[in-house]
Copies of this chain bind each other. A is one copy, B any other.
C-alpha cells in the first residue's frame, strides 16, 4: 500500500512489472530468492537463534554459507544480530519486522510445497518416464 497503484483491472503482471522497472527491487529479490536465505528466515522463525543452532537445524548448510547469508540478511535489515560480550562469545539472531514479513511469504511457499508434493512427484515421474517403445 501507499506507493503502489495496484489497478487490479486487467494488468496481470503488475508485480513482475515492478520487479522489472526497479533495479533496487530486483536486487533485493535476487538476494532473497535463494534457498539458503529463505531457509534461514524460516528456521529463525519467532525464536532467538544462535549461530550453531542454525547450523545444526538447517541440514546441509555449510559454515561459510550460513555466515555469508546471515551477513547478507543483516545488511538488508531482515535479521538483527546481537553479540553478547561473554566468553565464549554468544551471538543471537532474530527476525526484524521486515524479516517477519518475508517469513510470512516463505511460510506460504512451504505450505505450497506440501500441498502439491504428490502432484509434483507425479509430474516428475511422468516427465522422467523412460522413452520405451
Chain A contacts to B: CB under 8 angstroms = 1, 3-4, 12-13, 15-16, 18-20, 22, 24-26, 28-30, 32-35, 38-39, 42-43, 45-47, 57-59, 74-78, 98, 101-102, 104-117, 119-124, 126-128
Contact = CB atoms under 8 A, between A and B. Distances in A.
B28 A16 contact: no
Contact of A114 (B4, B106, B120): B4
- Can you tell how many copies of this chain the complex includes? 2
A22 to B, nearest CB: 8
A103 to B, nearest CB: 9
Nearest to A128: B75
B28 A42 contact: no
